Structure 1
Amino acid sequence: MEKKAIIMDESAMNRAIARITYEILERNRGAEQLCIVGILSRGVILAERIARKIYELEHVSVEFGALDITPFRDDRTAEETKSAKSTIHFPVQDKRVIIVDDVLYTGRSCRAAIDAILAIGRPQCMQLAVLVDRGHRELPIRPDYIGKNVPTAQSETVQVSVQEIDGTDCVAIYQNS
């Protein structure tokens, strides 16, 4: 893969996360009954940052968890879906669940996340926050909160890098060979 462009640097990512957090708080009238669930792996890091920002703004600790969607994916065989690394140690029943992912593409990961959450309880509502929406949906999934809309070709890949995993914060577009 050949890097085409960096579309978000560290400061742009921080601004997007802050904006998403403000929008979440505004739409939900504060942090009451909120919980944040990040999709493994980079969605978890972004969700953690949103949870920290909510604490900074509201002085309220929202419940936070990591969601492994592997067992709920529709593109894997039964042997490949045995992984279950979710760490959601709180009830989602009657909560306002914010699902966080790094890149929204076809919508299949989000559908799997919805199924995974419904398998553990029935929330009051679920909302979707993504850092990058690149289009090309295959399912009727629409994010509630978007850091950046990036129209892409299907021959391109959007890669989110986070300090905690990759040593840097940025979003880049790559051209597939």
Structure 2
Amino acid sequence: RLAYHLVEGYASLSDVVFIGLQPRGTAVSDKIVAIIQSLLPHEKIQYGLLDITFYRDDIREELHQPAKTDISFSIEGKQVVLIDDVLHTGRTIRAALDALNDFGRPAGVKLCVLVNRRFSRQLPIQPDYCGIAIDTSPSQKVKLNRQTNEVELY
């Protein structure tokens, strides 16, 4: 469904780039981009991966294993769609926006998430495209099970 919304949201994808956030957003972004490519087989879909490890504001508190950033195209003047699995506090997206600035100045940035945890936000960040919105307490965890492709709440 998210892939269809993304295709419908743009007249053309020639100036749109898709960027999955490492590490957990890549499973979602891989699937979304594969579906978009199957819907538009003659379009060249620009897709990359962004690691935000060194842009996180909790880098001194937790040890995060850096992943590979793979953006082999220019984002200058493009519409960027950031894709992640779960939007919680908004801090990951803030870090992604900071990291994105190192690659150029996009015309715009949209956010696509599979799960929107609506009442846990610490920053004023909201998704433009959302698979499901759920209400959780701060103590609950939300995870995408990659084997079953189901959202788990515990």
Do the two structures share a fold, i.e. TM-score over 0.5?
yes
One-letter amino acid of the counterpart of residue 35, structure 1 = V
The Cα of 1:155 is off from its aligned counterpart by 1.3
Distance in 1 between residues matched to 2:6 and 2:103, nearest whole Å:
23
Where structure 1 has 5 or more consecutive residues not aligned to the other structure, the ranges are 1-18
Check conservation: 1:68, 1:84, Cα contact below 8 A.
yes
Query: Do structure 1's residue 30 and structure 2's residue 46 form an aligned pair?
Result: no
- More off after superposition, 56-65 vs 122-131: 56-65
SS at match of 1:168: coil
The 5 Å alignment of 1:6-155 reads 19-59=1-41, 60-77=43-60, 83=66, 85-135=68-118, 136-155=120-139
Structure with the greater alpha carbon radius of gyration: 1
Q: Which has the higher helix share?
A: 1
State percent identity of aligned pairs.
38
Check conservation: 1:98, 1:127, Cα contact below 8 A.
yes
- More off after superposition, 84-93 vs 64-73: 84-93
Q: Tell me how large the CA RMSD over aligned residues is.
A: 1.9
Distance in 2 between residues matched to 1:35 and 1:81, nearest whole Å:
26
Distance in 1 between residues matched to 2:37 and 2:27, nearest whole Å:
15
Where structure 2 has 5 or more consecutive residues not aligned to the other structure, the ranges are none
For normalisation by structure 1, the TM-score amounts to: 0.80
Q: Deviations over 1:129-168 (max 9, x none)?
A: 0000012110010100000001001110001122xxxx33
Counterparts in 2 of 1:108 and 1:28: CA distance versus 1, 3 Å: same
Partner of 2:145: 161
One-letter amino acid of the counterpart of residue 103, structure 1 = V
Q: Bigger relative contact order, structure 1 or 2, given CA contacts below 8 A and separation 6+?
A: 1
- The count of residues paired between Structure 1 and Structure 2 equals 152
- More off after superposition, 107-116 vs 32-41: 32-41
